[in-house]
Amino acid sequence: MTAHTLSFSVAARAATAGVALLAGTALAAPAFAQEGWDRLVDPARLAALEETVDPVVLDIRAAAAFAQGHIPGAVNAPYTQWRGPTDNPGALPEPALLSVLVGESGIDEETPVVVVHQGADSSDFGSAARVYWTLKSLGVERIAILNGGVGGWVASGRGLSTEPVRPDPTIFEAVLSDTWRASAQEIEASIESGDATLVDARPEPFFRGELWHGAAARPGTLPTAENFSHASWFVDGGPLVVDVERARAIAQSAGLADGATLVSFCNTGHWAATNWFALSELAGIEGVKLYPESVVEWSNAGRALDNEPGRVEWFLMSTRQWLASVL
């Protein structure tokens, strides 16, 4: 089966259950850990939550940006700390590092958390979605993302603080559930069986093999994959994400709610986290998984790719990219 682009006509401590990758999916109302808890909140809702449940506002921007101004009371845990090494940035940090990171942020499994990014554009949202996915996989029960991030907070007329925040640390034992995670081995099995839909969240030139991540061995996409860009979930191109009703309509119109198991991937699990969040947490599709290491890991392991350019084309593309980097 040749990879193709989906048509789109409308713009912890969870037990490691090892849920099978090939389990069917269904479109259902999102199941919330507690009644009344939304996965995506606007500034007014966050302000109300601060008055009622006192969530940890987890600002994942770089330390310098945080120091220049943050939502009052927010805790800083930069996105880079949630990522892997430069040669495989989509990989998860070791559990011991996650234990320290989450614990020092003042979070345990029952702590309400609102993840805050800059809110610069649609790509920026992927950082918040990736941290959300990580926390959920670690068993944190109530998590939300601030729609529009810090930019949206400021645009709503709310102020920022430069006061340093030192949360009360918790003792957190990081145990990652596989419920929302797909491994390369599982994906290989699903390609053979045809029982899962692999969804490439990257912009189309990456999917077609015309662009590639610097840490990837080769351009191309996973075999049998379909392309559905992460940017499809944003209002007028971003940075605001669509609401639940709109997300469900988008998923249905794109054929992503037809019962097949969905596995979201990209270059390093960043853009793919947006697709995972929108499909799983907003559209309410059950069993959606993220392949966090994505094409970088897949290609560097020598696995087959669709849409991979031939040797001559690859040589010319590599030469052009090298020249662009030195001129």
Judgement on whether residues 235 and 99 belong to the same structural domain of the protein = no
Judgement on whether residues 109 and 188 belong to the same structural domain of the protein = no
Give me the CATH number covering residue 268. 3.40.250.10
Owning domain of residue 234: 179-326
Judgement on whether residues 223 and 303 belong to the same structural domain of the protein = yes
What pLDDT was estimated at residue 314? 58
What pLDDT was estimated at residue 100? 98
Q: Is residue 11 part of a domain?
A: no
In this structure, is the dihedral angle defined by the CA atoms of residues 69, 74, 75 and 77, taken in order, positive or negative? negative
Question: At residue 232, does pLDDT exceed 90?
Answer: yes
The model's confidence at residue 320, banded by pLDDT at 50, 70 and 90, is: low
Q: Is residue 269 part of a domain?
A: yes
264 DSSP β-pair partners: 199, 290
Average pLDDT of the residues in 126-140? 98
**What's the number of domains the chain is made of?**
2
- What angle (nearest 5°) sits at the alpha carbon of residue 124, between those of residues 40 and 44? 35
Q: Which residues of 237-265 are buried (b: 16+ CB within 10 A; e: fewer)?
A: ebbbbbebebbbebbebbebbeebbbbbb
Question: At residue 30, does pLDDT exceed 90?
Answer: no
Judgement on whether residues 191 and 316 belong to the same structural domain of the protein = yes
Q: Is residue 97 part of a domain?
A: yes
What pLDDT was estimated at residue 211? 94
Check: CB of residue 140 under 8 Å from CB of residue 37.
no
Q: Is residue 19 part of a domain?
A: no
Contacts of 304 (CB under 8 A, 6+ apart): 223
Burial class from Cβ neighbours inside 10 Å (0-12, 13-18, 19+) for residue 144 reads buried
Q: Is residue 257 part of a domain?
A: yes
The model's confidence at residue 91, banded by pLDDT at 50, 70 and 90, is: very high
Judgement on whether residues 88 and 224 belong to the same structural domain of the protein = no
Note the Cα 279 to chain centre separation in Å.
11
Q: pLDDT tens for residues 9-26? A: 223 323 323 323 333 334
Judgement on whether residues 184 and 319 belong to the same structural domain of the protein = yes
